Structure 1
Amino acid sequence: MAEQRFIIEMGMGNDQYGQDYTKAAARAIEDAIRHSSIPMFDALELDHSQMRVQVTVGVQDPEQVDCTALLKRLPRGRVEVRAVNGGLNVTNPDNGNVTVLASAAVEAFLDPALVSGR
Structure 2
Amino acid sequence: MGMGVDVHGLDYTLAAKRAVFDAIHHSSLGFSRLVGATADDMTVNVTIGAPHPEKVNADEVADSLPHGRANVDVVVGGLQLLNDDGSDGTLIANAIITVSIEDGK
Say whether 1:80 aligns with 2:74: no
Unaligned residue ranges in structure 1 (runs of 5+): 1-9
RMSD of the alignment, in Å? Answer: 1.9
For 1:36, the equivalent position in structure 2 comes to 27
For 1:19, the equivalent position in structure 2 comes to 10
Count of equivalent residues: 104
Give a deviation string over 1:29-49, Cα, whole Å, max 9, x none: 000001121122234431223
Whole-angstrom CA distance in 2 between matches of 1:72 and 1:51: 14
- Per the normalisation by structure 2, the TM-score is 0.87
Unaligned residue ranges in structure 2 (runs of 5+): none
Say whether 1:62 aligns with 2:69: no
* Same amino acid, percent of matched pairs: 39
- Per the normalisation by structure 1, the TM-score is 0.78
Whole-angstrom CA distance in 1 between matches of 2:73 and 2:4: 16
Whole-angstrom CA distance in 2 between matches of 1:98 and 1:44: 46
